[in-house]
Each structure stands twice: as C-alpha cells, then as structure tokens.
Amino acid sequence: MMSLIKLVNVSKSVKNQALLTNVSLTVNAGDIVTLEGINGSGKTLILKAILGLIRTTGDVLINDQKLTVGGKFPIRAGILIENPSIIDNFTAKKNLELLARLLPEVTDQQIDNLLTQFELPINDNKKVRKFSLGMRQKLGIAQAVLGQSPLIILDEPTNALDAESIDKLVTYLHQLQQRGCTFVIASHDRDFVEQVASRRFQVKAGQAHEI
Ligand SMILES: Nc1ncnc2c1ncn2[C@@H]1O[C@H](COP(=O)(O)OP(=O)(O)OP(=O)(O)O)[C@@H](O)[C@H]1O
C-alpha cells in the first residue's frame, strides 16, 4: 500500500550536533499519528522535515514523491506550528476569511461552523489582540483545519486549552478523520494523545520509535 508520508533515515545535524538521527516512519491515509517526547526531543523538527521546511539527509516521500526543500509540497496541508499566522488587528472571522481566499470552496457557512466549534466570537468585533491565550490557540487550530486538507499537521494543539476544550477537540479531530483527513500531531499531553491517536511514536533525543 502506498503511504501518504514516508520518512526513510531522515537525519539532521547542526554544527556537528545530531538533532535527528535516522528517523524512519510512515503515515497512512486516515491515520492520526502522534509524536510524543520531552521538550527538545525533536518533535517539531520531524514535523518540519515532513513539510520540507528544513534540509535533512535521507528521504521524505509524500504520496511516493520525493520532497525537495524549496519545491512545491505535493498535497494540500493545514499547518499549526509555533506562531500561527494570525493577524492581531483582525477578528477571528476575518482571519479565517483571509485564509479561505487561498483555499478552494470554503464557504461562509463553514467558517461560521468552525467559529462555533471552537467557541470563538462570530458576531462581535473583538479583535484577536484582545483574545486569551486559549482563544488564540483555538483560532490557530481552526486555521489549520479550515478547508479540511488531506494532511493536517498540529504542533502542541492542546497548549493553553482547558480540559473541556481538549475533549471537544478530540471529538472534532475524530470527525475530521472520518471525513478523510490525516493527522500528524506533536504533543506532550499524554491524556490527549491516548484519546486521539491511532498510532503513536515516542521521540527521544532525535530518534523516533513506534509505541
Ligand atoms: N536551527 C537549529 N539550530 C540548532 N539547534 C536547533 C535548531 N532547531 C532546533 N534545534 C534543537 O533541536 C532540538 C529539537 O528541537 P524541537 O523543536 O524539534 O523539539 P521539540 O521536541 O519540538 O520540543 P518542545 O516540546 O520544546 O517543542 C532542540 O534541542 C533544539 O534546541
């Protein structure tokens, strides 16, 4: 079977320091793959390698196509990594509308549904700069899932979310999985990972092992 993502012996070092060492993993369509590990273990670097955002040795294959840094990413991907691309001076809705212009067939109704899903303001003029950390995080996740791309990459999605919001997120990600989205999620939130993952990898000192 063809895998959506295949990493073969992906390594990265900076100034003779090994940051990733022979990371090999596959992600199949419909998987919710999680990367667990302590701070600095290499989770974010693996996400960046998957997206072709950093130079590595070894191979990254997306739909069996070899990825090149600077080349076009072969499939559409929704991404939440580090600082989400949020414009502080706009409302949540305006931020999603802007992003929707880049995506095919996203309707106003879908944007409103997402705002409702993440309990973000729909009809008031509250700008993102007045948001709480959790609200900002939810908007970042909403941006990543907007348009239901075939691949969705989330780095620490539960950061700043309360327990109830995390439960709601788990249910929602499973719904998206049913609709055909595939996820790779880095998280050190074990409860969340145990609920959401279909396959789990432990990342330790730049190496990844399935658990
Ligand atoms: N450009 C770089 N140059 C040097 N070291 C880097 C670079 N990028 C990342 N690192 C180092 O690589 C290691 C892995 O970083 P990474 O961001 O992948 O960790 P992480 O597992 O996502 O951690 P966290 O849970 O804190 O987000 C860290 O020690 C980090 O300092």
Instruction: Give me the interface pTM, i.e. the ipTM.
Output: 0.93
C-beta of 207 in contact with ligand 1 (< 6 A) = no
- Nearest CA residue ID for atom 24, ligand 1: 39
Asked if the structure places residue 193 within a domain, the reply is yes
Strands (E), the chain: 5-14, 17-27, 32-36, 57-62, 65-66, 77-80, 151-155, 182-186, 199-204, 207-210
Asked if the structure places residue 9 within a domain, the reply is no
Whole-angstrom distance between the N-terminal and C-terminal Cα of the chain?
Answer: 21
- In this prediction, the residues of the chain whose per-residue pLDDT falls under 70 are 1
Give me the pLDDT at residue 82, please: 83
Segments forming the whole domain that contains residue 141:
29-40+73-210
Asked if the structure places residue 181 within a domain, the reply is yes
Asked if the structure places residue 5 within a domain, the reply is no
- Nearest CA residue ID for atom 3, ligand 1: 14
The atom of ligand 1 lying closest to the CA of 45 is: 18
Give me the pLDDT at residue 124, please: 85
The burial of 208, by beta-carbon neighbours within 10 Å (0-12 exposed, 13-18 middle, 19 or more buried), is given as buried
C-beta of 188 in contact with ligand 1 (< 6 A) = yes
C-beta of 71 in contact with ligand 1 (< 6 A) = no
Residue in this structure with the two tokens 């008031």, named with its chain if needed? 124
- The per-residue pLDDT for range 90-102, each reduced to its tens digit, is 999 999 999 999 8
If you measure from the C-alpha of residue 45 to the centroid of ligand 1, how many angstroms do you get, rounded to a whole number? 6
C-beta of 14 in contact with ligand 1 (< 6 A) = yes
3-state SS assignment for residue 57: strand
Q: What is the CATH number of the domain that holds 36?
A: 3.40.50.300
83, 90, 88: which is closest to 111 by C-alpha?
90
Asked if the structure places residue 56 within a domain, the reply is no
Give me the pLDDT at residue 1, please: 63
Asked if the structure places residue 19 within a domain, the reply is no
Total domains in the fold of the chain: 1
User: How many Å apart are CA 175 and CA 67, to the nearest integer?
Assistant: 29
Q: What's phi and psi for 173, nearest 5 deg? A: -65, -35
